[in-house]
Amino acid sequence: MSSIVVYALCLSLIVQLCSSVCLHDAVQKDTPVVSPPTLFPHTTRISSRATSWVPQLPLRVTPWYLPGESALLSPAQNTQLQSAIRDVTKTIANMLSVRRSEGPLLLNRDMNKFCRSVWGDPSLPNYKRCGSRDMSYYGERCLDVVIPESHLHGYEVWPMNGTEPTLVTPEGSGVPDTDFLLYVRVAQTEKCALQPLVIAYASYCQLDQSGRPIAGVIVFCPKRLREGVYQHSHIVQVSLHEMLHALGFSSRLFEHWIDCSFHESGHECSSRSRVTNTDESGQLRIYTPNVMQKMGEHLGGGNVGAPLENQETPSSSHWESRIMQGSILTASLSPPHLTYIDPMTLAAFQDMGWYRVNTTMNDQFIWGKGAGVSFGLPFTCQETLSGFFCRDESQIGCHHLHLDKGNCSTDTFLDGCHIYKPLLHGGECWLKQDIQGPEEIYHPQSRCFFSNLTKELKHESVKGRCYLHRCLAPNSFQVKVQGSEWIDCPAGELIKVKGFEGVLMCPNGRLCLGFGQPSLPTSASITASISTIFPSATVPGIIVKVKMMHGFKWNKEKKMLLMDEIVGVIAQHAGVQRCFLHASTEPDKDLSFTLMAGGSNNCPLHTPGSSPYLTLMTLIDYPITYDSLQFSTVTIRLCSPVSHNPILRKVGLIGGCFCGIFFVLLILTVSWCKHRARILQVRDVYHSQVINTEQKHDVVGV
Ligand SMILES: *[C@@H]1O[C@H](CO)[C@@H](O)[C@H](O)[C@H]1NC(C)=O
Ligand SMILES: *[C@@H]1O[C@H](CO)[C@@H](O)[C@H](O)[C@H]1NC(C)=O
Ligand SMILES: *[C@@H]1O[C@H](CO)[C@@H](O)[C@H](O)[C@H]1NC(C)=O
Ligand SMILES: *[C@@H]1O[C@H](CO)[C@@H](O)[C@H](O)[C@H]1NC(C)=O
């Protein structure tokens, strides 16, 4: 049996998100918000004493997918979207707790809309109640979404004196187990069209008694999702960012934040007199107690308000980019592995008054740490002393977290300040790369260091390079360059390395800070390939191999579930029913299993006319989510039919590969094709698919 190994390069599919735009403020401005009839925004008595005995439990965000709209995306993209939303709701449940109300969630109707007249005489028993309905009332909307009647409270009209109202619409059944109802819409809206960089935007549309948002909508622009460039972690990041706006970090909600600091001792919550204010330099800041305390601790000075983005006027729902680089709530987001839920964001949610915040979620947040209260002001960022900003645009340096190389650049939110933005495509020290400097090492444990190490006796300029590191203690570590021993790298010092000219700078306060390892994309370490063995005349099966490149140890149950997932995807794309394909073996050690094909009485063959080959051949970039890891198929391919068995022809030779989110070299094994000519035929077959990665294919052995 000859076997041919084809190496395929899966192009990195990430695009720089730094230029993405958040539309929240603009959208929120146009979203009418409905509050319960009893809410008078500026009263001081906001919630009753009784509620202080209700325990605070994790916030339950329930997504509500609008029927029909899923047609805009492929089943795979829908799966991807839903899995991203699941991850976001999980993160939010970890982060925020609320006092849950009893029963299913019901949304309010806007009395100004459904009611034409209200009893206005205080002496009447039905004073302030609706006296006649507005016949043109069309129901409620949340942004552009028509809220289903079953999610809404009923309403009635009252006679002038009587005690019996006339029911117009009964109470809806509501949405069970829900603290925040999220309408998920996929639509190429005008906003998507006007702002081609927008992936998603969100707004809230209903508040509860205490002013907490209880319903909102998130709109995904399908064009962006379909481009396939945004992978799981990006969609999660953008959705989380938008959700945090909808849950309370929104300039229009600042005035609704309440002070519940004495709530535990039985006092009522009161409205906050002022959340934002402008400082002497004209910078708008949030001045609430927890935010000020966290901002002060972070910068290493006294209490100081946390600044909002000054490029978005008159008010912003984002933190100032210069001072909060890397926070999930800046207007321009760093790539997901460099973005954190920072302490100031958590403090803000605490100060909203509606939530109890899980402070153990405090992620690593290094930007500006200990740099003093004047850190990041437009006139101080030119001094590069803090080590956070840069000036020289010509040299490659290191992003401040030292995971990636960076280039010194600026953007509209930085007010002329320059920072090292991560160089994507090749700048990730933690990813294996094809091209590397002679002394560099790219590895999950590598970090970016400023150095001009060279083996040759020539002048080298200092720039960002990737070397291995290992932590000894907080802020204490060793480095290893290609061909050297492990050497101590005292934080803040320049060191020499035996056998090299030049120096290496050991960063201070950036590495090994005891936060644990930064969370790199989990799937980055996984590469899987599916290979197939062409079916023989007697065994109508194909063998699917999923190869885990980095030795993931999975138990049998997990393997079975992943197998099931893969079979489902193949069946879907082959245009055959799921029951048509069955695994005849359990996944073995390497996660390979034999897939059998065949109809039976209970499983009729698919409708004639549609060709299963062609659908299979388009199985490109098809995400499979399993165990919160995202695998993307790069290609699943077919040999031209050689079998005369119609069933076999349907399955044909499938070979393909999966790749993790960010990545890498994939191995694609195509076995038992009898001769090279057939392999060439294979390549011809899918040549027409215009797959970028095809050009990188290289036949290595026959
Ligand atoms: C708080 O967050 C941590 C880390 O994400 C998580 O392990 C823990 O379960 C959370 N606690 C609560 C009460 O949700
Ligand atoms: C309602 O009650 C007021 C006095 O309480 C009375 O003047 C009025 O006629 C009553 N209206 C109707 C429609 O019964
Ligand atoms: C550096 O960043 C700029 C954008 O600010 C980009 O256009 C340029 O290509 C980058 N340089 C390198 C070497 O990647
Ligand atoms: C490396 O950089 C240092 C500091 O800028 C400089 O003194 C030294 O001459 C450089 N060495 C080489 C080999 O370029």
| Per-domain boundaries in the chain | 111-169, 274-416, 425-527, 530-644, 655-702
To test ligand 2's pocket by mutation, which of 126, 161, 163 has the most ligand atoms within 8 angstroms of CB?
161
- CA of residue 93 to ligand 1 center, whole Å: 9
**In which band, very low, low, confident or very high, does the pLDDT at 49 lie, cut at 50, 70 and 90?**
very low
Q: Of 241-250, 337-346, 561-570, give the lowest mean pLDDT range.
A: 561-570
Give me the residues paired with residue 633 across strands.
622, 658
Mean pLDDT for the chain overall: 75
The rounded distance, in Å, linking the Cα atoms of 521 and 687 is 31
Contact 563, 582 (CB under 8 A): no
Identify the nearest ligand to the CA of 495 by its number.
4
Give me the residues paired with residue 63 across strands.
182
Identify the nearest ligand to the CA of 390 by its number.
3
Checking if the pLDDT of 490 tops 70, the result is: yes
- CA of residue 462 to ligand 4 center, whole Å: 7
Closest ligand 1 atom to Cα of 91: 5
In 3D, which of 378, 380, 383, 382 has the Cα closest to residue 412? 378
pLDDT (average), residues 665-678: 25
pLDDT (average), residues 416-425: 90
Higher pLDDT, 367 or 269: 367
In 3D, which of 283, 299, 301 has the Cα closest to residue 379? 283
Tokens 């720039």 sit on residue: 463
To test ligand 1's pocket by mutation, which of 97, 179, 358 has the most ligand atoms within 8 angstroms of CB?
358
Checking if the pLDDT of 698 tops 80, the result is: no
- What integer pLDDT is reported at residue 468 of this predicted model? 94
Task: Tell me, using a 6 A CB cutoff, whether residue 362 lines ligand 1.
Answer: no
Contact 296, 347 (CB under 8 A): no
Task: Tell me, using a 6 A CB cutoff, whether residue 160 lines ligand 2.
Answer: yes
Task: Tell me, using a 6 A CB cutoff, whether residue 614 lines ligand 2.
Answer: no
Does domain 274-416 fall into CATH 3.90.132.10? Answer: yes
The rounded distance, in Å, linking the Cα atoms of 619 and 76 is 10
Plot region of 384 (φ>0 → left; ψ -120 to 50 → alpha; else → beta): alpha
> Burial, 229: exposed, middle or buried (Cβ in 10 Å; 0-12, 13-18, 19+)?
middle
pLDDT (average), residues 185-194: 89
Closest ligand 4 atom to Cα of 459: 14
Question: What's the token pair of residue 600?
Answer: 């039976």
Report the percentage of the chain scoring pLDDT > 90. Answer: 39
- Which residue's CA is the closest to the ligand 4 atom numbered 1? 502
pLDDT (average), residues 290-314: 90
Task: Tell me, using a 6 A CB cutoff, whether residue 502 lines ligand 4.
Answer: yes
3-state helix, strand, coil in the chain (%, to 5): 25, 25, 50
Long-range contacts of residues 613-617, Cβ cutoff 8 Å, at least 24 apart:
613/638, 613/641, 613/649, 613/650, 613/652, 615/573, 615/574, 615/575, 616/570, 616/573, 616/574, 616/575, 616/652, 616/654, 617/685, 617/686, 617/689
**In which band, very low, low, confident or very high, does the pLDDT at 618 lie, cut at 50, 70 and 90?**
very low
The rounded distance, in Å, linking the Cα atoms of 598 and 389 is 63
Contact 478, 468 (CB under 8 A): no
To test ligand 2's pocket by mutation, which of 129, 132, 160, 164 has the most ligand atoms within 8 angstroms of CB?
160
- Which residue's CA is the closest to the ligand 3 atom numbered 11? 407
Q: How far is residue 56 from each of residues 362, 434, 571, 618, measured CA to CA in Å?
A: 19, 51, 45, 48
Closest ligand 2 atom to Cα of 123: 5
Contact 294, 285 (CB under 8 A): no
For the ranges 188-192, 392-396, 599-603, the maximum mean pLDDT occurs at: 188-192
**In which band, very low, low, confident or very high, does the pLDDT at 344 lie, cut at 50, 70 and 90?**
very high
- CA of residue 240 to ligand 3 center, whole Å: 28
- What integer pLDDT is reported at residue 467 of this predicted model? 96
- Which residue's CA is the closest to the ligand 1 atom numbered 10? 94
> Burial, 561: exposed, middle or buried (Cβ in 10 Å; 0-12, 13-18, 19+)?
middle
Closest ligand 1 atom to Cα of 93: 14
For the ranges 11-20, 364-373, 517-526, 634-643, the maximum mean pLDDT occurs at: 364-373
- Which residue's CA is the closest to the ligand 1 atom numbered 4? 361
- Which residue's CA is the closest to the ligand 4 atom numbered 6? 502
396-398 and 405-409 as β-strands: parallel, antiparallel, unpaired?
A: antiparallel
- Which residue's CA is the closest to the ligand 1 atom numbered 8? 94
**Would you list the DSSP string of 438-449?**
TT---STTEEEE
The rounded distance, in Å, linking the Cα atoms of 360 and 364 is 11
Checking if the pLDDT of 549 tops 60, the result is: no
- CA of residue 135 to ligand 2 center, whole Å: 26
To test ligand 1's pocket by mutation, which of 97, 328, 349, 360 has the most ligand atoms within 8 angstroms of CB?
360
Task: Tell me, using a 6 A CB cutoff, whether residue 161 lines ligand 2.
Answer: yes
Contact 287, 278 (CB under 8 A): no
Residue 242 falls in the annotated catalytic set: yes
Please determine whether the domains at 274-416 and 425-527 fall in the same fold group of CATH. no
Q: Which residues approach ligand 3 with their CB closer than 6 A?
A: 407, 409, 423
- CA of residue 403 to ligand 4 center, whole Å: 23
Alpha helices (H) in 423-532, listed in sequence order: none
Run of H or E including 651: helix 646-651
Higher pLDDT, 214 or 82: 214
pLDDT digits (tens, 9 = 90+) for 649-665: 333 333 322 222 222 22
- Which residue's CA is the closest to the ligand 2 atom numbered 3? 161
Q: Where are the beta strands (DSSP E) in 366-506?
A: 389-390, 396-398, 405-409, 418-422, 446-451, 463-473, 476-480, 487-490, 494-495, 504-505
Q: Of 26-40, 514-528, 676-690, give the lowest mean pLDDT range.
A: 676-690
The rounded distance, in Å, linking the Cα atoms of 474 and 479 is 15
DSSP state of 639: P
- CA of residue 448 to ligand 3 center, whole Å: 17
Q: How far is residue 251 from each of residues 130, 248, 295, 354, measured CA to CA in Å?
A: 32, 9, 19, 16
Query: Other CB atoms closer than 10 Å to residue 117's CB: what's the count?
Result: 11
* Axis-axis angle for helices 75-95, 232-246 (nearest 10): 50
Run of H or E including 676: helix 676-687
- What integer pLDDT is reported at residue 637 of this predicted model? 39
In 3D, which of 242, 219, 239, 217 has the Cα closest to residue 230? 239
Checking if the pLDDT of 317 tops 90, the result is: yes
Q: Of 44-58, 65-79, 464-478, 620-634, give the lowest mean pLDDT range.
A: 620-634
Checking if the pLDDT of 480 tops 90, the result is: yes
Amino acid at 309: E
Question: What's the token pair of residue 649?
Answer: 């022809």
Count Cβ neighbours within 10 Å for each residue of 435-461 and write b for 16 or more, e otherwise: ebbebbbbbeebbbbbbbbeeeeeebe
Identify the nearest ligand to the CA of 341 by its number.
1
Length of the chain in residues, anyone?
Answer: 702
Task: Tell me, using a 6 A CB cutoff, whether residue 136 lines ligand 2.
Answer: no
- What integer pLDDT is reported at residue 88 of this predicted model? 96
Query: Other CB atoms closer than 10 Å to residue 486's CB: what's the count?
Result: 13
Of the candidates 140, 227, 242, 501, the residue annotated as catalytic is: 242
Task: Tell me, using a 6 A CB cutoff, whether residue 162 lines ligand 2.
Answer: no
Task: Tell me, using a 6 A CB cutoff, whether residue 134 lines ligand 4.
Answer: no
Amino acid at 481: V
pLDDT (average), residues 509-529: 53
The domain defined by 425-527 folds into Leishmanolysin; domain 4 (2.30.34)
Task: Tell me, using a 6 A CB cutoff, whether residue 459 lines ligand 4.
Answer: yes
- Which residue's CA is the closest to the ligand 4 atom numbered 10? 502
Q: Of 73-87, 132-146, 173-187, 635-649, give the lowest mean pLDDT range.
A: 635-649
**Would you list the DSSP string of 574-626?**
HTS-GGGEEE-S---TTSEEEEEE--BTTBPPPPTTS-HHHHHHT--SEEEEE
What does pTM read for this prediction?
Answer: 0.73
- What integer pLDDT is reported at residue 552 of this predicted model? 55
Identify the nearest ligand to the CA of 127 by its number.
2
The rounded distance, in Å, linking the Cα atoms of 182 and 142 is 10
**In which band, very low, low, confident or very high, does the pLDDT at 607 lie, cut at 50, 70 and 90?**
very low
- CA of residue 529 to ligand 3 center, whole Å: 33
**In which band, very low, low, confident or very high, does the pLDDT at 546 lie, cut at 50, 70 and 90?**
low
- Which residue's CA is the closest to the ligand 4 atom numbered 11? 502
Checking if the pLDDT of 683 tops 50, the result is: no
C-alpha of 353 from chain center: 26
175 CB-near residues (< 8 Å, 6+ apart): 62, 64, 104, 105, 106, 151, 181
- What integer pLDDT is reported at residue 6 of this predicted model? 22
Checking if the pLDDT of 199 tops 70, the result is: yes
Checking if the pLDDT of 218 tops 70, the result is: yes
Run of H or E including 111: helix 111-114
